[in-house]
Amino acid sequence: MNLVDIEYVKKCRFVVATGTFDGYDVPYQPSNTSIRSKKLFCFLMVVDEVSLKFIKKNVIVRKDRDEGMWVGIWRLIPLKHLPYDEPRRKGKVPKILTHRLFPEAQYSIWIDGKMELIVDPLRILERYLRHDKHTYAIAQHKHHRSIYEEADANKRRKRYARLLIDLQMNIFYYEGMEPWSLKKNTISDVPEGAIIIREHTALSNLFNCLWFNEVNLSTPRDQLSFGYIVYRLRGLFKFFMFQNCEYNSLFVLHLHTREHSSQVEWIKSLSEFKGNGSSMKESRGGFGLWTPYPKNLDSVILPPV
């Protein structure tokens, strides 16, 4: 981050954060925001260099006396030297590691770049955290409760390389992650990750770091690994998963400027992915995929979907 932005975020105790990478979204201004929230919250939009150029080309960017950049209510926070070349992975840095980018924040509301916030953020904190003393709130997925169902949908819709999703699911199932059922203590194993409402407690921050590790090690489809981390923490991590219909009342969903695409999505064999000089693999990211899993996964048979 630029030094001027590092100094700016030091004063941010309440944060509404979003991000856009590789020019996939334009900034959408929040509406129905109270005067108190405008004074209390920092509205921070994390961008890479490609998105910064795209935004400057399409909307008016103003600078303050400290050379900070603004688009309406959003303060632009450019990130340089990101560890990934795939835009989906880039977006996971500010989304999951919000507490690392903005270390002074006590509360944060993350919204994906394609979302337009239409509810006062103070009301969101009151409804989803303070009212019932929760520290972490996330929406339930509108279709799936089992990560194996979500993985199947990701493969059918070509959201990432099918072989790599299978590899991730084989590892999770081998480690004991069962499909969701009424016997579990959670409403669902699959969140709608476009909104995350957090109090930055020690356990909340730990969960975010463990979740990011899984996203870094395998696929960038974060819905697949959320429930796995909850399972591995054996009930220690408490969170509030609210109904998807409430999620739809908080935002207006917009389309990306173009469809996400990556060469990784089209691999047909792991040998093709790992081959020397292969143009089909991510040059950075998915580091765990280069190290063979210590156990033989060939005998793993995933539960039917």
- What pLDDT band is residue 2 in, cutting at 50, 70 and 90? very high
* Residue 162 pLDDT class (50, 70, 90 cuts): confident
Q: Between residues 38 and 284, which one has the greater pLDDT?
A: 38
pLDDT at residue 163 in the model: 85
pLDDT at 283 > cutoff 80: no
Does position 289 have pLDDT exceeding 70, yes or no?
Answer: no
pLDDT of 143 higher than 80: yes
What pLDDT digit, counting tens, does each position of 195-251 carry?
999 999 999 999 999 999 999 888 889 999 999 999 999 989 999 999 999 988 999
Q: In this predicted structure, what is the pLDDT of residue 29?
A: 95
- On average, the pLDDT of the chain sits at 90
Q: What is the pLDDT of residue 288?
A: 65
pLDDT-above-70 percentage for the chain: 90
pLDDT, position 260: 65
In a 10 Å sphere around its CB, with 0-12 CB exposed, 13-18 middle and 19+ buried, how is residue 124 labelled?
Answer: buried
pLDDT at 276 over 60: no
Please name which of 195, 178, 44 lies closest in space to residue 114, comparing C-alpha atoms: 195
pLDDT at 36: 97
291 pLDDT above the threshold of 80 = no
CB 7 within 8 A of CB 51: no
Mean pLDDT within 164-185: 93
Residue pair 41/125 in contact (Cβ under 8 Å)? The answer is no
pLDDT of residue 157: 86
In CATH, the number for domain 3-145+191-201+237-274 is: 3.90.550
Residue 273 has pLDDT above 80, yes or no: no
Average pLDDT of the segment spanning 45-64: 94
**Ramachandran region, residue 42 (left: φ > 0; alpha: ψ -120 to 50; beta: rest):** beta
Is the pLDDT reported for residue 41 higher than 60? yes
- What's the confidence (pLDDT) of residue 281? 60
Q: Which two tokens stand for residue 108?
A: 């944060």
Per-residue pLDDT at 292 exceeds 70 = yes
What is the pLDDT, as a whole number, of residue 71? 96
Q: What is the pLDDT of residue 261?
A: 62
Would the pLDDT of 117 be above 90?
yes
* pLDDT surpassing 60 at residue 122: yes
Mean per-residue pLDDT, 105-114 = 96
Q: Which of 47, 51, 44, 55 is nearest to 17 (CA)?
A: 44
- Arithmetic mean of pLDDT, 78-104: 92
Any idea which residue has 């977006």 for tokens?
91
Highest mean pLDDT among 121-135, 147-161, 284-298: 121-135
> How confident is the model at residue 277, as a pLDDT?
52
